[in-house]
Amino acid sequence: MNASKPYRKRHEDCSRSTSSGKELKRWKVNRTLVTFRNLFEKLMHEYKVYEPGNSKVKTKALMEAARTMRREHQWENTQKCVGHILGIDVGDVFQNWAELNVIGLHRQFWNGIDYKVMDNSSLATSIVVTDRYDNAWKSNGTLVYEGQGGNPNVGRNISLIDQTLKGGNLALKNSMQARSPVRVILKVCGKFDGEFSKTSNNFHHSYVYDGLYLVDTMKIERGKYGKLVFKFALNRILVQPQTCVALKDHGENSRQLASFTPRKKHKPKGCVAQKEVVRIKDLSNGGEKFSVRVVTSSDCVQLPTSFDYVVNNIYSNKFNLAFLGGCDCADGCVDKESCVCFRKNGSRMPNDCNKRLASDMESSFIYECGPSCKCSSSCINRVTQHGIQFQLEIFKTELKGWGVRTRSFIPSGSFVCEYIGEVSDYMEARWRLDDDYIFHMGVGKVFINASKCGNVGRFINHSCSPNLCVKDVMYDHNDKSLPHKMMFAVRDIAAGRELTYDYNDSNGKLINCKSNSCYCGTPECNGQIYI
């Protein structure tokens, strides 16, 4: 949670007030990608639930996410252009073809050649190099790109269809004659999501922007099954950043995909994260329903400072906690009118039927059914007391020390975790207020100190635009000055995203006397954590 710990180098560098137009455009591109990926994850989650036997759910979710964003005018770089696109750098990695569409790098859903019509003529803007056609690389690095139309690899039993000089093929010829640059995107082996993974012996695929190329020559040849095909030779323009891509085979007949390794041994500059390894399989030692693992990059052996992992608050002897009176419901609190806990919440149920925070639950105080209630443990009003319900992991961030990210998709309104530690008053806590994990409960002078005893919540970083909020929850005692600090998702959170909350939340805040610089990197960032 030490968002202001030893990394104090910059904030003016990432301040919006000093951002250039390029940085602002890049932020917009990243924002579009985040929006798309979150929507895709949400749709995937829904399709898997309602269409469990459909093998096409991923494609369906990708297409639906892209169409939805287009309808909502959320695509970026909507005007086709020739050359580099502001906000997209050579070497950028994308998870799927649809992402190329929503950010404007390549506007075709299925075709490998995209082009722009100008003055009754056309110029190619971009091509995607895949193994669908007989694309090849010569030993000198020249890309031999096969034109579109009449897929030459469909076999002999299909009627022969020759390629014609129209559409993308004509645009590439015009680009050759005009010496107009073409963006090249390579389909590569290895899904970039923090590390390159291999599942069921089949590589996942990603897409890398490899920079600008010039079309040098065009030939018409007979393809593998006798069809006429266009062969375009393209050479990469010099003085461009090297990408993290190399070819598996430079032979002229090679149809191998590219792979994630440095081209010509040039060291890549940050375009591929180092592979991460699991350092601790379960920091909770079985205390949580799901293991809480610790991961770092392969060249980092640092581990979190030692502490005792606990799943319940440890209260000082100064507090005399009396049980909170409960309901007599034996039917799961279905009869709301007679439910005492329901009336404590202002005659509103804090959770919906999926046990997610109700959208109209604006109050920070929530009363759950607890030990004094007669309803079962599956009651809809028992949510936070069952511990974490998602796979979380602790990882080393670039600038903020340790952080927490989710390995699961977290729907909006879901309970994520509690901030747990030693609960004490000011007199007991004051001598330790320079620790990094002191949480002011926001009610009176009571603190939660997670320095020596705590849970995964102690590692969650601050953000000026967080994806978690803090709610006060009561269920096991009646002291309103000692509520449980529960964190809920304020929006859908895709797998792999870091979890954050606002340390200045009115329902309690983190106390830290060290550097106040904020490194959340969001457009809403005000430059400091504590305000």
Question: Is residue 18 one of the residues assigned to a domain?
Answer: no
pLDDT value of position 383: 93
Q: Do 383 and 259 belong to one domain?
A: no
pLDDT band at 365 (very low <50, low <70, confident <90, very high): confident
pLDDT value of position 158: 57
pLDDT-wise least confident of 127-136, 209-218, 319-328, 451-460: 127-136
Question: Could you give the angle at the alpha carbon of 200 between the alpha carbons of 198 and 204, nearest 5°?
Answer: 40
Mean pLDDT of 104-117: 92
Bigger pLDDT: 518 or 405?
Answer: 405
Give the domain CATH number at 469: 2.170.270.10
Q: Do 260 and 340 belong to one domain?
A: no
State which residues form the domain around 346. Answer: 276-511
**Cβ-contact 203, 192 below 8 angstroms:** no
Q: Do 245 and 97 belong to one domain?
A: yes
Mean pLDDT of 81-93: 89
Q: Do 139 and 281 belong to one domain?
A: no
Question: Is residue 330 one of the residues assigned to a domain?
Answer: yes
Question: Is residue 37 one of the residues assigned to a domain?
Answer: no
pLDDT at 330 over 60: yes
Q: Do 215 and 145 belong to one domain?
A: yes
Q: Do 359 and 238 belong to one domain?
A: no
pLDDT value of position 323: 84
Three-state DSSP at 95 gives coil
Please tell me the total count of domains within the chain. 2
Q: Do 375 and 437 belong to one domain?
A: yes
Q: Do 321 and 457 belong to one domain?
A: yes
Backbone phi, psi, residue 50, to 5°: -95, -20
pLDDT value of position 331: 75
Question: Is residue 129 one of the residues assigned to a domain?
Answer: yes
- Domain closes at, from 202, 232, 265: 265
- Domain closes at, from 221, 244, 265: 265
Question: Is residue 528 one of the residues assigned to a domain?
Answer: no
Q: Annotate 87-111 with b (16+ C-beta within 10 A) or e (fewer).
A: bbbbbbbbbbbbbbbbbbbbbbeee
Q: Do 241 and 282 belong to one domain?
A: no
Question: Is residue 102 one of the residues assigned to a domain?
Answer: yes
Alpha-carbon distances of 347 from 336, 361, 416, 482, rounded to whole Å: 8, 11, 25, 23
Question: Is residue 521 one of the residues assigned to a domain?
Answer: no
Rounded CA gap, 448 and 238, in Å? 58
Q: Do 156 and 295 belong to one domain?
A: no
Instruction: Please report, rounded to a whole number, the percentage of residues in the chain having pLDDT higher than 70.
Output: 80
Instruction: Please report, rounded to a whole number, the percentage of residues in the chain having pLDDT higher than 90.
Output: 37
Q: Do 502 and 438 belong to one domain?
A: yes
pLDDT tens, position by position, 412-460: 899 999 999 999 886 665 555 445 678 887 777 788 989 889 999 999 9
Q: Do 110 and 230 belong to one domain?
A: yes
Give the domain CATH number at 114: 2.30.280.10
- Domain closes at, from 221, 246, 265: 265
Question: Is residue 198 one of the residues assigned to a domain?
Answer: yes
